[in-house]
């Protein structure tokens, strides 16, 4: 692969919202394996490989919807509770073919700072997202406040040593969807050489 090809793949990556995905079109197992293999090559201090992914597809998406709604209900003060937001949390998981819970595994007695483990997970997600975009799959990383709650983690039985870092909605874009184009400011405006 030429460096300009890799640059094009990086520039092509876009967040595709779940409402723009085809929830009925399945993702073949071999593509999932490719995506998670790409994620697995993220940098990891101390080779702790802290990324964990739980895939919910088909009827299992109801578990995510229920966990989102129950967590929202338990952590939101009554005065701030919004019925339309509660309802949306119950519907969103069904807009994409699959919902992937992204979590960070904290190894017992590890000397690696938690922030570095979160950064490693973010790199794994970026690897997955880049490959998914190149394959034509839509991905949207969602991290509503309730996804960081212990209520959400418990509802999905993530385990004592796992900390949720959000959800990836994954699916094929709806037929006819034009792949989004974006722009960035000048890269060198954000760089200082010292």
- CA–CA gap between residue 169 and residue 181 (Å, rounded): 19
pLDDT at 1: 61
> What is the pTM assigned to this prediction?
0.93
- Neighbour-count burial for 161-185, b at 16+ CB within 10 Å, e otherwise: ebbbbbbbbbbbbeeeeeeeeeeee
Quick check: is 4 in a domain?
Answer: no
- CA–CA gap between residue 50 and residue 52 (Å, rounded): 7
pLDDT at 194: 96
Q: 89: which 2 tokens?
A: 């949390």
Q: How many domains is the chain built from?
A: 1
Q: What's the pLDDT tens digit per position in 142-151? A: 999 999 999 9
Is residue 2's pLDDT more than 70?
no
Quick check: is 76 in a domain?
Answer: yes
Quick check: is 157 in a domain?
Answer: yes
Quick check: is 132 in a domain?
Answer: yes
Instruction: Give the range of the structural domain holding residue 35, as residue numbers without chain letter.
Output: 18-190
Quick check: is 3 in a domain?
Answer: no
Q: Looking at beta carbons, which pairs linking 147-150 to residues 24 or more positions away fall under 8 Å?
A: 147/68, 147/71, 149/71, 149/74, 149/75
CATH number at 25 reads 3.40.109.10
């Amino acid at each position: 692969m030429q460096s300009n090809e890799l640059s094009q793949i990086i520039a092509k990556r876009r967040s595709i919202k779940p409402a723009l995905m085809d929830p009925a079109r399945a993702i073949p197992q071999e593509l999932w394996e490719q995506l998670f293999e790409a994620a697995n090559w993220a940098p990891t201090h101390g080779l702790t490989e802290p990324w964990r992914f739980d895939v919910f597809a088909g009827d299992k998406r109801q578990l995510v919807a229920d966990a989102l709604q129950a967590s929202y209900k338990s952590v939101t003060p009554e005065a701030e509770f919004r019925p339309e937001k509660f309802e949306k949390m119950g519907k969103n998981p069904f807009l994409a073919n699959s919902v992937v819970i992204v979590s960070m595994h904290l190894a017992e007695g590890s000397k690696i700072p938690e922030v570095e483990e979160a950064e490693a997970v973010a790199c794994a997600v970026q690897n997955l997202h880049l490959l998914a975009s190149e394959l034509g799959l839509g991905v949207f990383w969602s991290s509503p406040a309730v996804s960081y709650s212990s209520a959400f983690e418990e509802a999905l039985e993530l385990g004592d040593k796992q900390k949720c870092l959000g959800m990836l909605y994954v699916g094929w874009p709806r037929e006819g969807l034009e792949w989004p184009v974006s722009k960035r400011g000048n890269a060198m405006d954000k760089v200082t050489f010292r």
